[in-house]
């Protein structure tokens, strides 16, 4: 048997060119080296895979000489190297949307962290006031929390006369000692501006009428007043409103959606202020509401106002300096501005 193998090797060496014999010898020596350094199952390193991939490209008859792995494995290595090569080459000249500046990414995360009730639209509007134009999806990507879905608003009610409409509303606020206080709000539809807010523990028609007079001094009274059917709006309130030549629009029974703007702002006061604090007294509640009204009118952007405030803010480009935070409502919210 040994003699036959020797004769075959001699004849094969005569018939096959020396280059092929050299490559076959190199392949067998490499496999032998792998087996010698391995214990049990042959262990191939990255350089071994690269060697066989290159050899398969240079030598057509490489398959019969491969013993320690299957030829299909070498082909899989080649495909993997092909993918890695083009992945590396694609990174050399990146295309598509450019990456956001690290400073802006940190600012988005800062706004989301310091204002837990803000969604991606609110943060986008705040960034616009700081001179940054960022898409909502980009804000949602970097704020690292799921933005709440926007609440629906009622848009059809007398839209053509929004500037001449004000809405009234009452809601309850409990104190530390479980005392119930009534909060009265007056909202102007045109710019979603909170015109007047006050607190009492025993509302009456006379007290409510006095709030209307305080909210609209001189000739600032609106044309229409939208309210629900609460019995607090009694005869004394009706006489005061008629004296100011304001026409009352009363919603249908059990239809709060007809006074949607007032209901919405009441929800905002709860979600963005009162739900995060314990009211100590009537004086404390008045102070909190004054702070929130200032934030609501001068700082908080509104989607219905094209992400501006009821009292518009100026856009501050990056050239004005670094971004600083000014706390509002005992630090629950912040206004971001630039200083040199």
pLDDT at 145: 63
> Are 251 and 192 within 8 A, CB to CB?
no
Pair 194, 254 in one domain: yes
Q: What does the buried/exposed string (b/e) look like for 227-237 if buried means 16 or more CB atoms within 10 Å of the residue's CB?
A: bbeeebbeeeb
pLDDT at 157: 54
Is residue 292 in some structural domain?
yes
pLDDT at 5: 43
Pair 128, 164 in one domain: no
Is residue 296 in some structural domain?
yes
pLDDT at 19: 65
pLDDT at 62: 65
Pair 187, 284 in one domain: yes
Pair 198, 259 in one domain: yes
Is residue 226 in some structural domain?
yes
Is residue 203 in some structural domain?
yes
pLDDT at 42: 66
Domain of 291, CATH number, reads 3.30.420.10
Pair 193, 250 in one domain: yes
Is residue 192 in some structural domain?
yes
Is residue 97 in some structural domain?
no
Pair 203, 76 in one domain: no
- Domain residues for the domain of 58 are 2-92
Paired tokens of 262: 């007032």
Pair 85, 170 in one domain: no
Number of domains in the chain: 3
The parts of the chain modelled with pLDDT lower than 70 are 1-29, 31-43, 52, 55, 57-71, 73-74, 77, 92-97, 145-160
What is the residue-wise DSSP string for 154-183?
---TTGGGGGGEEEEEEEEEEBTTS-EEEE
Is residue 145 in some structural domain?
yes
pLDDT tens readout for residues 139-177: 888 887 654 544 445 555 556 677 889 999 999 999 999
Residue 131 gets the label, from left (phi > 0), alpha (psi -120 to 50) or beta, of left
Pair 177, 265 in one domain: yes
Pair 77, 131 in one domain: no
What is the residue-wise DSSP string for 104-117?
HHHHHHHHHHH-TT
Pair 212, 183 in one domain: yes
Pair 214, 251 in one domain: yes
Is residue 319 in some structural domain?
yes
Paired tokens of 184: 């009265």
> Which residues neighbour 185 within 8 Å (Cβ) at sequence distance 6 or greater?
168, 169, 170, 171, 194, 196, 197, 262, 265, 266, 269
pLDDT at 61: 66
Other beta carbons within 10 angstroms of residue 299's beta carbon come to 21
Pair 139, 237 in one domain: no
Strand partners, 247: 224
């Amino acid at each position: 048997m040994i003699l036959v193998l020797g004769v075959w090797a001699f004849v094969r060496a005569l018939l096959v060119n020396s280059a092929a014999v050299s490559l076959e010898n190199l392949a067998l020596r490499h496999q032998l080296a792998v087996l010698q350094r391995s214990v049990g199952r042959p262990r191939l390193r990255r350089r071994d895979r690269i060697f066989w991939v290159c050899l398969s490209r240079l030598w057509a008859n490489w398959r019969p000489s491969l013993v320690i792995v299957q030829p299909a494995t070498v082909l899989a290595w080649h495909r993997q190297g092909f993918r890695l090569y083009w992945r590396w080459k694609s990174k050399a000249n990146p295309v598509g949307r450019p990456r956001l500046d690290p400073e802006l990414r940190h600012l988005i995360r800062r706004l989301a962290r310091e204002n837990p009730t803000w969604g991606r639209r609110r943060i986008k509007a705040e960034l616009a006031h700081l001179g940054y134009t960022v898409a909502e999806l980009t804000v949602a990507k970097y704020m690292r929390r799921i933005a709440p879905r926007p609440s629906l608003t009622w848009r059809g009610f007398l839209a053509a006369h929004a500037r001449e409409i004000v809405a009234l509303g009452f809601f309850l606020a409990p104190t530390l000692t479980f005392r119930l206080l009534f909060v009265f709000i007056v909202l102007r539809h045109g710019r979603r501006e909170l015109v007047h807010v006050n607190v009492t523990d025993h509302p009456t028609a006379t007290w409510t009428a006095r709030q209307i007079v305080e909210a609209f001094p001189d000739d600032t009274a609106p044309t229409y007043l939208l309210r629900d059917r609460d019995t607090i709006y009694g005869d004394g309130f009706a006489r005061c409103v008629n004296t100011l030549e304001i026409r009352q629009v009363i919603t249908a029974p059990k239809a709060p959606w007809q006074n949607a703007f007032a209901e919405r702002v009441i929800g905002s006061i709860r979600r963005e202020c009162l739900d995060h604090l314990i009211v100590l007294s009537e004086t404390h509640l008045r102070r909190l509401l004054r702070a929130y009204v200032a934030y609501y009118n001068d700082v908080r952007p509104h989607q219905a106002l094209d992400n501006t405030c009821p009292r518009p803010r100026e856009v501050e480009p990056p050239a004005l300096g670094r971004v600083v935070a000014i706390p509002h409502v005992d630090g629950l919210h912040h206004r971001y501005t630039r200083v040199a």
